[in-house]
């Protein structure tokens, strides 16, 4: 029935309209109910995964939750939206979930890992992606988890992505993950002093880490001075952008792809302009005579 200022009996055409629209309203309410149930189910899945990781490796579980809290504050400084913050929180909590597939003896080893053991350990981002990609609402989270160990300079793993081709959530978690790991006690070393950890972040901004994320984290930690090295890295990144523009201008190109050699016939994309700024992948050049 319609809402009226005065109570009264509905007219026949009003009753007809109610009967026609009632099934549509019912379907809408049922859809909302199902969506709420799915959301609760998905959150239960995230909780189950994090609990499994915590029971497997107590340090990793606590490390992930504390990294998530720090990453959320840094992301807020960078102006991420509510939806982006929600995704980031899940990435931060689940970024080490792939360690469920790593042998226990490696996770708890008290000494440094051998090169062969590092190869095994480096598989955990890909394992994490495979675990999370099976959950319908975690596709974006899975992608960011895969790329959480990519470096700003393109020398990370597993895909060698560089700069802004790395998902922003991955870049934020990578920096916060690094800071928390450096300032935590581990079986094979004592915690680093926070001031020294901040100096390490500055030193590696622009190579290992996104300079803008490092700056936001230092501000969050009460260390707003980025220092000459960090400022220099930002200037260097800007200068590289201008250099790429100059190269592209010579032949009148709007798309520029920059590669580095990763094997005898393989080149990995590391930078570019236009479509080259967003593309990522490898190319094979059979001739050894190709310098670029």
Residue 35 confidence (pLDDT) above 70: no
Residue with tokens 């109910």: 33
pLDDT at position 1, please?
44
Number of other CB atoms surrounding residue 42 within 10 Å:
15
3-state class (DSSP) for residue 284: strand
pLDDT digits (tens, 9 = 90+) for 78-89: 998 888 998 998
In this structure, the dihedral spanned by the alpha carbons of residues 255, 256, 257 and 258, taken in order and rounded to 10 degrees, is -170
Q: Using one digit for the tens of pLDDT, what is the confidence trace for 187-233?
A: 666 778 888 899 899 888 988 999 999 999 999 988 755 555 555 55
Provide DSSP, 21-41: HHHHHHHHHHHHHHHHHHHHH
Nearest CA among 228, 179, 237, 176 for reference residue 206: 237
Percent of the chain with pLDDT over 90: 17
């Amino acid at each position: 029935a319609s809402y009226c200022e005065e109570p009264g009996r509905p007219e026949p055409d009003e009753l007809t309209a109610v009967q026609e629209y009632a099934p549509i309203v019912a379907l809408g309410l049922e859809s909302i109910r199902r969506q709420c149930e799915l959301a609760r189910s998905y959150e239960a899945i995230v909780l189950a995964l994090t609990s499994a990781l915590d029971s497997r490796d107590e340090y990793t579980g606590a490390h992930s939750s504390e990294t998530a809290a720090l990453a959320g504050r840094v992301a807020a400084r960078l102006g991420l939206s509510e939806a982006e913050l929600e995704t980031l929180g899940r990435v931060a909590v689940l970024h080490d979930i792939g360690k469920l597939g790593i042998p226990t003896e490696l996770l708890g080893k008290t000494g440094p890992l051998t090169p062969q053991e590092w190869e095994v350990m480096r598989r955990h981002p890909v394992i994490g992606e495979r675990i999370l990609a099976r959950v319908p609402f975690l596709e974006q989270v899975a992608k960011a988890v895969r790329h959480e160990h990519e470096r700003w300079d393109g020398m990370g793993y597993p895909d060698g992505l560089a700069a802004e081709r790395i998902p922003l959530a991955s870049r934020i978690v990578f920096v916060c993950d690094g800071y928390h790991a450096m300032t935590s006690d581990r079986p094979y070393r004592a915690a680093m002093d926070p001031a020294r950890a901040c100096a390490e972040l500055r030193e590696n901004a622009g190579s290992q880490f996104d300079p803008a994320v490092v700056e936001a984290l230092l501000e969050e930690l009460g260390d707003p001075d980025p220092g000459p090295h960090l400022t220099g890295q930002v200037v260097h990144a800007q200068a590289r952008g201008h250099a790429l523009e100059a190269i592209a201008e010579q032949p009148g190109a709007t798309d520029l792809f920059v590669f580095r050699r990763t094997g005898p016939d393989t080149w990995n994309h590391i930078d570019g302009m236009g479509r080259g700024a967003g593309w990522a992948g490898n190319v094979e050049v059979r001739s050894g005579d190709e310098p670029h």
